[in-house]
Amino acid sequence: MNPGALMAAQEGFSEEAERRKRLGQYFSGVGLARLLGALAKAESARSIIDPMAGNGDMLAGCLAIGARPKQMCAIEIDPIATTACAARLPEVDCILGSAFSQSVIAATPRREWELVITNPPYVRYQSLSRGAGRRFKLPGAMEVRNGLLKSLDDMSALDETDKRLFRAMVSGYSGLSDLAVPSWILCASMVSVGGRLALVVPESWLSRDYASVVHYLLLRWFQIEHIVEDEHAAWFEDAQVKTTLLVARRIKRRESAFGWDKRNTFIRTKVSGKAAGPEGPIARLFPGCRKPEALLSDKLAEVIDTETGIEDSFISVSQSPLARVAENLNSVCSKQKWFSSMGEKQTQMSVTFNPPEALSKWLGSDVGTPIITLESLGVSVGQGLRTGANGFFYATYLHDDGSAATVSVSGFDNGRHVQIPLECLHPVVRRQAELPEGFVIRRSKLKGRVLDFRTIALREDIKAGGSLARSAYSPMSPELSAFVRTMAAKDIGENGSAKRIPDLSAVAPNIRKGDAAKGFAPRFWYMLPDFAPRHQPDILMPRVNSGNPKAWLVADRGVLADANFSTLRVDGSWIDRYALLALLNSSWCRATLEFGASVMGGGALKVEATHLRRLPVPRLSESEMTRLSSLGKRLAKDGDYSNDIECLVASALLGRIATKREIAALSRLADDGLNRRKRQKMRTETR
């Protein structure tokens, strides 16, 4: 048994892969580390630390480009990786333990560093719900938060006001955050004024609402210098999303994260997969060069000095204003619970939103209408239903007798037919293959059903639940009971990672003890939580799009949407469902999402609820809204997209009647985004 498999068994994991996933281990490689170190000027740093060091790739990369600091330190929670790091880098102080432990931080040779460089572990919040491991404990979410709060006391790079504000951010960041968020905050707290923070982060950090606390921190305590994007997901072989390098210089705390001067910019670099070679991600950028990372760093410095850019088949370089980043963050921060403790003046907050650069160029300087966000129109945006076990909770409708329906449950039981009471079935859009060719989803055409057993239960569960269960539930039929019992005993998954459905992490929380004082009946694993409004949308849009993103109207209320879809509702909004349908399918919105949403490794466009909330749209007049609604009704009825929609939206943005050439240019932007992704997919498939 190899050391990793042996450690997994000793620490209580079913297999090595499960342990690595819980650790969030995706090692960077020295090639990527050299690039990040060069951009962060590691060769001039007198002290360097990697608080999540893994096997030492980041520090090895810094040494490879000429770094010779007086002090280097590595913190790593995995004893196998720590041993490898210590053997590989004898000049480094290697500390075994969690970087979120105050005692581990106290064991480091200093409390502030000129360069903090790391590839933070990516562990989703579901895995962080509790600790793991035995002898070498992996902290749960609360342990991480509490440990970070205690460690802030020792961070000498922060003054007392800094510490107070950092504590507010740590206490208030979302419980839905993955481990990267507290990791970024920890790393930021360790950087001395004038020093640098250098991170490998997933591209999604740019768009997730829960990452807004990190954006805010960077804009108030740092000046972002470089954001380098992995254009074709080439840096990590197993990556499903693109990766980003971030370099930021620590400054003294600004009075506000907002109000950046437009002359303050950072360098945005996109590196093609074609630039990668055996020696690293830019090995082919400068053929024959022994130190391509240093040469690229010098060339990017020239871009700053000359205010020019670079554009070729390997790399794209441009300058982006920090003011744009700050302004786009405004509307998001105001809704975060930590934000009220930051001392920001509310007058600085704005409802306007800057579109992506390509769309800004189309608009020009003469924008006729204020650009606002979709959320500021009152549109509620969320995500569809996540059952945790679609193979059990989803079925296909076959026929019914007026009281019960026969359904096929194919997920875990080979197409077994079961009779379910009609009141326990709800129509659902499960996947994109079920979407119609037009723009309207109708209940009568849907074959997907959600099994909703919130009113019936197994007889044994009713008996065990006592009087509360007897008054709340009717017993299941013998046939249905046999089906549920069979499903409860099935193992889901492969090899050592197999679990039974009631034990799945997203199903187990369905179980709830009864509370007589509050009148709550017990609930059982096969009972889904109550459906939220976001599960029953007016409009939906697939989250993963191979073509241009498209929106569909859900004609009938009560139709559920799966978590494969972003969902929108217009209750209490300034816009009705038909106007919203037309707006979302306009070239403006398609192009904005093409340039603003996340491009996945295979070239698909991932449109999350966050992207839709922040979607920049024109502030339409009452007459324009009425006209757009009328056009949306025609779109829903006939299924034919009208050029009148394009003209109305483009004209509203420009504040005058848009020309045919301007409308065509906007449509081309949407097509350009799609074609760019298709080319990326082809490159990925041929690598």
In the prediction, which pLDDT does 493 show? 63
Q: Confidence band (pLDDT; 50, 70, 90) for 125? A: very low
How, if at all, do strands 380-383 and 371-373 pair?
Answer: unpaired
CA distance 38 to 25: 23
Residue 653 scores a pLDDT above 80: yes
Tell me 209's DSSP state: G
Q: What is the pLDDT of residues 311-360, one digit of tens each?
A: 777 888 888 888 878 877 776 777 788 898 998 875 444 445 567 778 88
CA distance 187 to 189: 5
Could you give all domains of the chain from N- to C-terminal order, each with its CATH number?
A: 3-343 (3.40.50.12420), 371-384+533-686 (no CATH), 390-510 (no CATH)
Contact 227, 279 (CB under 8 A): no
Transcribe 417-437 into DSSP letters. Answer: EEEEEGGGEEEEE-SGGG--S
Residue 367 scores a pLDDT above 80: no
Gap between the terminal Cα atoms of the chain: 33
CA distance 241 to 233: 6
In the prediction, which pLDDT does 351 show? 46
CA distance 354 to 372: 8
Q: What is the pLDDT of residues 561-584, one digit of tens each?
A: 999 999 999 987 889 999 999 999
Neighbours of 388 (CB within 10 A): 19
3-state secondary structure 54-118: CCCHHHHHHHHCCCCCCEEEEEECCHHHHHHHHHHCCCCEEEECCCCCHHHHHCCCCCCEEEEEE
Neighbours of 421 (CB within 10 A): 18
Contact 351, 373 (CB under 8 A): yes
Q: Confidence band (pLDDT; 50, 70, 90) for 15? A: low
Contact 267, 300 (CB under 8 A): yes
Say what the alpha-carbon torsion angle 275, 278, 281, 286 is, to the nearest 10 degrees.
-50
Backbone angles phi and psi of 542, in degrees to 5: -60, 140
> Residue 344 CA to chain centroid, in angstroms?
26
What lies within 8 Å, CB to CB, of 526 at 6+ separation is 392, 451, 453, 484, 487, 488, 510
Q: What is the pLDDT of residues 595-630, one digit of tens each?
A: 888 888 678 999 999 899 889 899 898 899 999 999
Angle at Cα 134 formed by Cα 132 and Cα 139, nearest 5°? 35
Find the range with the poorest average confidence among 31-40, 366-375, 473-482, 500-509: 366-375
Residue 483 scores a pLDDT above 70: yes
CA distance 120 to 451: 39
Find the range with the poorest average confidence among 354-368, 371-385, 422-436, 482-496: 354-368
- Beta-bridge partners for 223: 249
Percent of the chain clearing pLDDT 70 (strictly above): 85
Burial 436-473 (b: 16+ CB within 10 A, else e): eebbbbeeeebebbbbbbbebbbeebbeebeebbeebb
How, if at all, do strands 416-421 and 499-500 pair?
Answer: unpaired
Identity at 372, one-letter amino acid code? I
Neighbours of 164 (CB within 10 A): 13
In the prediction, which pLDDT does 441 show? 97
Neighbours of 586 (CB within 10 A): 25
In the prediction, which pLDDT does 681 show? 62
How, if at all, do strands 93-96 and 71-76 pair?
Answer: parallel
643-654 vs 622-638: helix crossing angle, rounded to 10: 160
Burial 121-144 (b: 16+ CB within 10 A, else e): bbbeeebbeeebbeebebbebebb
H or E element that contains 641: none
For residue 341 the two structure tokens come to 């403790």
Q: What is the pLDDT of residues 191-240, one digit of tens each?
A: 999 999 999 987 666 556 668 899 999 999 999 999 998 876 656 555 45
Q: Between 11 and 676, name the one with better pLDDT.
A: 676
Q: What is the mean pLDDT of the chain?
A: 86
In the prediction, which pLDDT does 283 show? 81
Of 544, 572, 532, 540, whose CA–CA distance to 556 is shortest? 540
Angle at Cα 106 formed by Cα 105 and Cα 107, nearest 5°? 90
Contact 252, 195 (CB under 8 A): no
**Dihedral of alpha carbons 617, 622, 624, 625, sign:** positive
3-state secondary structure 339-405: HHHCCCCHHHCCCECCCCHHHHHHHCCCCCCCEEECHHHCCEEEECECCCCHHHHEEEEEEECCCEE
Residue 291 scores a pLDDT above 90: no
pTM above 0.85, yes or no: no
Q: Is 563 helix (H, G, I), strand (E, B) or coil?
A: coil
Q: What is the pLDDT of residues 20-60, one digit of tens each?
A: 555 555 555 788 899 999 999 999 999 999 999 988 999 99
For residue 397 the two structure tokens come to 């409708």
Helix then strand count (H, E) for the chain reads 22, 30
